[in-house]
Structure 1
Amino acid sequence: MYVWKWIGHTIRKSSNCITKQALTSNPEGKRKRGRPKNTLRREIEGDMLRMNNNWKELEMMENAGEQSMLLHEE
């Protein structure tokens, strides 16, 4: 639940803020061998997939001042 509050706070920040850039960036390059780690972004995207939402919808809801979707789902 805390993670979703942080995401809502981060989405409302300006686009030049480093935390928003880190949340929305898509790094490229080679990975190490082995099973990939499950990052915060992958966890969030998995939750959004289960709730049938995407980044744009989440951003629009947060900018409109609505509560995060996951807070009502739990």
Structure 2
Amino acid sequence: MDKELDCRVGKAAAAFNQLGKIWRSKKFSLKTKMRFYNSNVLSTLLYGCETWHMKTSQEKKLDAFDSKCIRKILGIRWSDFITNEEVRTRAKQRPVSSIICKRRLSWLGHVARLPPERLANRVLQWNPQGQRRRGRPKMNWRQTIDRDLQMVNRRWSDALRVAADRAR
């Protein structure tokens, strides 16, 4: 997962740097700049994030990149001592980790609505048998979803029941 995130951050940084003239320009409003940022940089950064199994440290890394970009757009220097929460309220932007959480949960709903014979749905219900290797188990997508569900005060069974109603 670290290699994938490094690749995504690198591509998003390249997209951000190509738009440097827009960030420095006084002709565009903050709202227009944030629309450029969301459509070009965030879409590049978050491509395929629905299937990522991430640790908290990896989410913090993405949030740090996002904050750095927003600070550059707003023209805030590191010596100005402004918190990331204040930066986000000025830009009217949510943290990347919460955007990823929302996308993962919507992907869970999509997969849960698939017919039971589809591979993605079978993998969602799969419970492997046998013994694990020694050491700490690697983080998997299901554990990441469990953590996301805890953040929104839901259980797995509730999430599958709610997923049946697409509009909800």
Which bracket does the TM-score occupy, shorter chain normalised? Answer: 0.7 to 0.9
- The 4+ residue runs of structure 1 with deviation greater than 6 A are none
Instruction: State the 1:50 CA deviation.
Output: 3.1
SS at match of 2:142: helix
Does residue 22 (structure 1) correspond to residue 123 (structure 2)? The answer is yes
- Tell me the equivalent position of 1:71: none
Greater relative contact order structure (CA < 8 Å, 6+ sep):
1
Q: Which has the higher helix share?
A: 2
- Tell me how far apart the structure 2 counterparts of residues 59 and 66 of structure 1 sit (CA, whole Å): 14
Q: Which runs of 5+ in 2 are unaligned?
A: 1-99
- Tell me how far apart the structure 2 counterparts of residues 51 and 26 of structure 1 sit (CA, whole Å): 24
Q: Deviations over 1:2-29 (max 9, x none)?
A: 3223211101101111111101211121
Q: TM-score, normalised by structure 1?
A: 0.74
Does residue 6 (structure 1) correspond to residue 107 (structure 2)? The answer is yes
Write the letter of the residue equivalent to 1:33.
Answer: R
Q: Which runs of 5+ in 1 are unaligned?
A: 68-74
- Tell me how far apart the structure 2 counterparts of residues 14 and 34 of structure 1 sit (CA, whole Å): 36
> Over aligned residues, Cα RMSD in angstroms?
1.6
Contact 2:149–2:155 under 8 Å retained in 1: yes
- Tell me how far apart the structure 1 counterparts of residues 150 and 126 of structure 2 sit (CA, whole Å): 18
- Tell me how far apart the structure 2 counterparts of residues 29 and 21 of structure 1 sit (CA, whole Å): 18
